[in-house]
DNA sequence: TTAGGGTTAG
């Protein structure tokens, strides 16, 4: 390539390169451009052409030359400062060049300058400008900028274009405004597969999995055929609800239409199985993927193993991932450190934390520090955890202090617990979970007047306890139960089953763990309050409705309390059922009277 | 020479 370029123009002497005579520029530029058009496959060629231009004095400020260099750089994902330098030197760039710059930033790791560029755009934007720009807005999650751009779309008369509508729809969904996204969707005269996927994903992303599933069914009933993108959204909605049966049906469909070879869909499926606690199935998908696996597949499995309590296996897979020379991401390390903290592997945790920084040059994010605080705190090194927080390069957030408070509650460290609580009160004063944690800390020390004080403050501040709820899937339906739930049509049978459970557990030696109830109410009242926790109701419901030996899977929005944990261990033994509980931070696999967390959670 | 949608943590 360089030879071709060199032959176009011979400098007068190699030691003393001359600038290109003006009359040769158009010819050289044309040749360069022809070559640039074929260069979208190699950064190396781009560099050579750039060097050639400099050597022979072809000005990069020449619009024809500059815009192609920018286009090539953006297509090759060359860091944006390269394109930016050329761009700032071009005299009067055209719309294509502005668009290419906006696109480049939108696709880069730092999309914010795309919006700033648009604000300084000296030309009228065209139909290409807005999709690029909205992509940037979606990535920086700036709904106010998005709304402003929406009004510009309208002003420019582009609102009726399908592409632009889809961009707007996606922008609102990505910014958490799933209702605005749905509004756009509803009024679209023509809805293609991208529109359906975007609106379904908007719900799946924003904690509305049921709405996502409903729309999916509507899409299928209207004869629109799902593709790989649809499957990803569907499967992630299923994962949130732990709708395993539905996810399995989706897999059957994927195999039927050949989508099981789609990398993203397979990854989403793998994640679904991991999130349902069915690690063996996750493994099966992972094995089936073979060489198609990428870093996301490995990360999903590693995180899945870690949260399911298989810390050692998670680390083994990490080592294998390294052997296969896949580059772990910061999320991979969240999984690795999580595995260490939840399995009490303190030394390993520090080992991997160091390697992450030194070998992979990953700057620790808050989540990594959270794992480290948890690693120390769980292992009973509460003071060391506090010292770690003090030495952290980042300003500790509420999650960090909550982790410390949790460790203080488990290991009974009143002084530090109260201190962590004070920080939390400052950062997130209305978080009911923190009141509960503090109250549990006092209750475990029988300091009932302090427990009372916490409760009084909660009432005064108008903080309501987040109601606990549990989800179970039966047949094709997900059932939800809240504490003391009596609204279910099968309520009578459920409560009869609860009485039977109570009877059998007593015989097995069960003593209710009442210390964690948020008040010094009478013992008997406490017992009944515990017995109506949503997870126990959900278990009773499943015992009524499933055949002996069927595993029971439960998703809980809060942490499992000590009493439920003990009771479920015994239920798994007495009723001979495998019970998997996914709480807000991890999995518990109960079997034959034991839990996979080894009572360390 | 330019346009829209995807998975992993929290």
**pLDDT at residue A518, rounded to an integer:** 55
Task: Report the SS3 class of residue A60.
Answer: coil
CA distance A257 to A228: 10
CB within 7 A of strand B (chain A, 288-307):
294-297, 299-300, 303
CA distance A66 to A92: 11
CB within 7 A of strand B (chain A, 376-435):
399
CA distance A380 to A56: 68
| Backbone φ and ψ of A259, nearest 5° | -80, -5
CB within 7 A of strand B (chain A, 225-254):
227-233, 236, 239
Residue closest to sugar C1' of B9 by CA: A331
- Answer whether any strand B atom is within 7 A of the Cβ of A282: no
Residues of chain A with pLDDT under 70: 1-26, 28-29, 33-45, 514-530
Task: Report the SS3 class of residue A370.
Answer: helix
Q: What is the DSSP string of A280-346?
A: HHHHHHHHHHGGG--HHHHHHHHHHHHHTT-HHHHHHHHHHHHHTTPPP-HHHHHHHHHHHHHTT-H
CB within 7 A of strand B (chain A, 461-520):
none
CA distance A40 to A43: 8
Residue closest to sugar C1' of B3 by CA: A128
Q: Which residues fall within 8 angstroms of residue A552, CB to CB, at 6 or more apart?
A: A472, A539, A542, A543, A546, A577, A578, A579, A580
Residue closest to sugar C1' of B8 by CA: A300
Strand positions, DSSP E, A422-535: 469-474, 477-482
**pLDDT at residue A4, rounded to an integer:** 40
- Answer whether any strand B atom is within 7 A of the Cβ of A210: no
Residue closest to sugar C1' of B6 by CA: A229
Question: Quick count: other Cβ atoms within 10 Å of Cβ A503?
Answer: 9
Angle, in degrees to the nearest 10, between helices A263-275 and A295-307:
0
What are the angstrom distances between the C-alpha of A245 and each of A209, A239, A583?
15, 11, 20
CA(A149)–C1'(B2) in Å?
19
C1'-nearest nucleotide to the CA of A264: B7
Antiparallel, parallel or unpaired: β A579-582 and A552-556: parallel
Tell me if A338 sits within 8 A of A303, measured CB to CB. Answer: yes
| Backbone φ and ψ of A588, nearest 5° | -125, 120
Residue closest to sugar C1' of B10 by CA: A367
- Domain residue spans in chain A? 2-93, 470-595
- Answer whether any strand B atom is within 7 A of the Cβ of A161: yes
Q: Which residues fall within 8 angstroms of residue A440, CB to CB, at 6 or more apart?
A: A409, A515, A516, A518
Please give the DSSP secondary-structure letter assigned to residue A379.
Answer: T
CA(A248)–C1'(B2) in Å?
41
CB within 7 A of strand B (chain A, 73-102):
95-96, 99-100
Task: Report the SS3 class of residue A245.
Answer: helix
Q: Find tokens 């499957």 and name the residue.
A: A231
Tell me if A340 sits within 8 A of A311, measured CB to CB. Answer: yes
What are the angstrom distances between the C-alpha of A533 and each of A17, A559, A592?
83, 12, 22
- Answer whether any strand B atom is within 7 A of the Cβ of A127: yes
- Answer whether any strand B atom is within 7 A of the Cβ of A166: yes
CA distance A174 to A231: 18
**pLDDT at residue A454, rounded to an integer:** 80
What are the angstrom distances between the C-alpha of A139 and each of A200, A205, A332?
18, 14, 21
CA(A57)–C1'(B1) in Å?
24
Nucleotides of B under 7 A from a protein CB: 1-10
- Answer whether any strand B atom is within 7 A of the Cβ of A206: no
**pLDDT at residue A1, rounded to an integer:** 41
CA distance A382 to A317: 30
The count of C-alpha atoms lying within 13 angstroms of the C-alpha of A142, restricted to the half-sphere facing its C-beta, is 17
């Amino acid at each position: 390539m360089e030879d071709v370029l060199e032959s176009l123009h011979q400098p007068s002497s190699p030691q003393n390169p001359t600038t290109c005579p003006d009359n040769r520029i158009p010819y050289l530029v044309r040749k360069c451009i022809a070559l640039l058009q074929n260069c979208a496959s190699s950064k190396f060629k781009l560099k050579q052409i750039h060097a050639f231009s400099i050597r022979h004095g072809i000005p990069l400020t020449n619009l024809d030359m500059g815009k192609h260099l920018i286009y090539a750089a953006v297509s090759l994902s060359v860091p944006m400062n390269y394109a930016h330098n050329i761009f700032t030197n071009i005299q009067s760039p055209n719309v294509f060049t502005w668009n290419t710059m906006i696109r480049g930033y939108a696709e880069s790791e730092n999309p914010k300058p795309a919006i700033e560029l648009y604000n300084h755009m000296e030309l009228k934007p065209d139909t290409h400008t807005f999709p690029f720009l909205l992509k940037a807005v979606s990535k920086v999650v700036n709904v106010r900028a998005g709304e402003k751009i929406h009004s510009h779309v309208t002003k420019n008369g582009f609102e009726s274009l399908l592409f632009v509508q889809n961009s707007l729809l996606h922008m609102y969904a990505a910014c958490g405004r799933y209702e605005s996204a749905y509004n756009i969707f509803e009024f679209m005269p023509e809805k293609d597969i991208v529109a359906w996927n975007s609106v379904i994903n908007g719900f799946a992303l924003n904690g509305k999995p049921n709405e996502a599933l409903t729309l999916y069914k509507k899409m299928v009933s209207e004869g629109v055929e799902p593709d790989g993108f649809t499957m990803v959204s569907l499967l992630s909605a299923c994962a949130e609800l732990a709708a395993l049966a539905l996810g399995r049906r989706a897999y059957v469909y994927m195999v039927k239409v050949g989508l099981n070879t789609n990398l993203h869909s397979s990854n989403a499926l793998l994640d679904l199985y991991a999130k349902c606690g069915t690690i063996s199935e996750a493994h099966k998908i992972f094995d089936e993927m073979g060489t198609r696996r990428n870093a996301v597949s490995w990360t999903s499995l590693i995180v899945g193993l870690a949260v399911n309590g298989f810390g050692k296996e998670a680390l083994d897979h990490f080592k294998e991932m390294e052997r296969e020379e896949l580059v772990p991401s910061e999320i991979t390390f969240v999984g690795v450190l999580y595995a260490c903290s939840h399995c009490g592997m303190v030394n390993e945790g520090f080992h991997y934390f160091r390697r992450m920084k030194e070998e992979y040059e990953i700057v620790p994010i808050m989540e990594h520090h959270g794992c480290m605080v948890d690693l120390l705190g769980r292992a009973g090194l509460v003071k060391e955890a506090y010292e770690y927080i003090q030495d952290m390069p980042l300003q500790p957030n509420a999650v960090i202090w909550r982790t410390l408070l949790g460790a203080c509650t488990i290991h009974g460290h009143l002084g530090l617990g109260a201190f962590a609580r004070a920080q939390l009160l400052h950062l997130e004063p209305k978080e009911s979970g923190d009141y509960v944690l503090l109250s549990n800390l006092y209750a475990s020390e029988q300091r009932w007047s302090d427990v009372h004080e916490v409760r009084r403050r909660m009432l005064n501040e108008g903080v309501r306890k987040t109601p606990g709820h549990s989800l179970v899937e039966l047949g094709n339906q997900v059932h939800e139960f809240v504490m003391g739930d009596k609204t279910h049509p099968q309520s009578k049978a459920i409560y009869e089953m609860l009485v039977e459970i109570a009877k059998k557990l007593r015989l097995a030696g069960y003593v209710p763990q009442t210390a964690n109830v948020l008040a010094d109410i009478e013992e008997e009242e406490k017992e009944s309050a515990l017995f109506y926790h949503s997870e126990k109701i959900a278990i009773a419901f499943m015992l009524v409705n499933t055949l002996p030996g069927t595993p029971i899977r439960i998703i809980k929005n809060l942490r499992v309390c000590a009493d439920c944990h003990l009771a479920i261990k015994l239920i798994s033994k007495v009723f001979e059922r495998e019970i998997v509980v996914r709480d807000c931070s991890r999995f518990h696999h109960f079997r034959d009277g034991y839990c996979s967390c080894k009572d360390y959670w």
